[in-house]
């Protein structure tokens, strides 16, 4: 957050909505990759990738310390991701559900 930014809650929501609309307008993984590489610094993008890896490892019931050893992500961050996975806004759960459904669909097409 920028400490001197004088922005109302309404303005903040509008700015967030504009970003989220841009994000969902991406049509495939390559477009999304390009957008996020333009939007984020390499460190910011790596932090997002790390958190998504942590989500998947938590779903596989790996212990926090083992996730830390596997990914290099701090145990504190692993705990934060776990907290949002269980008590957050539901975004991780939605993404997990949709990506798992897409994987299952692809796998069933390949098996046919």
- pLDDT tens for each residue of the chain, 112 residues long: 666 678 899 999 999 999 999 999 999 999 999 999 999 999 999 999 999 999 999 999 999 999 999 999 999 999 999 999 999 999 999 999 999 887 776 676 677 6
What secondary structure letter does DSSP report for 61? Answer: T
Structure tokens given for 86: 């269980």
Cβ count within 10 A of residue 80: 15
CB-based contacts of 79, cutoff 8 Å, min separation 6: 64
Q: Output the DSSP codes for 2-25.
A: -TT----HHHHHHHHHHHHHHHHT
Specify the residue for token string 């509008």. 14
**pTM (two decimals):** 0.83
């Amino acid at each position: 957050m920028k400490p001197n930014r004088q922005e109302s809650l309404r303005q903040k929501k509008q700015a967030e909505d504009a970003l989220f609309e841009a994000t969902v307008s991406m049509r495939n993984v390559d477009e999304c990759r390009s957008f996020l590489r333009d939007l984020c610094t390499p460190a910011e993008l790596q932090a997002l990738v790390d958190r998504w890896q942590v989500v998947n490892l938590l779903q596989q019931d790996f212990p926090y310390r083992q996730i830390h050893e596997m990914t290099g992500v701090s145990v504190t961050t692993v705990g934060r991701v776990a907290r949002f996975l269980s008590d957050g806004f539901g975004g991780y759960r939605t993404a997990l559900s949709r990506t798992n459904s897409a994987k299952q669909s692809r796998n069933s097409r390949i098996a046919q």
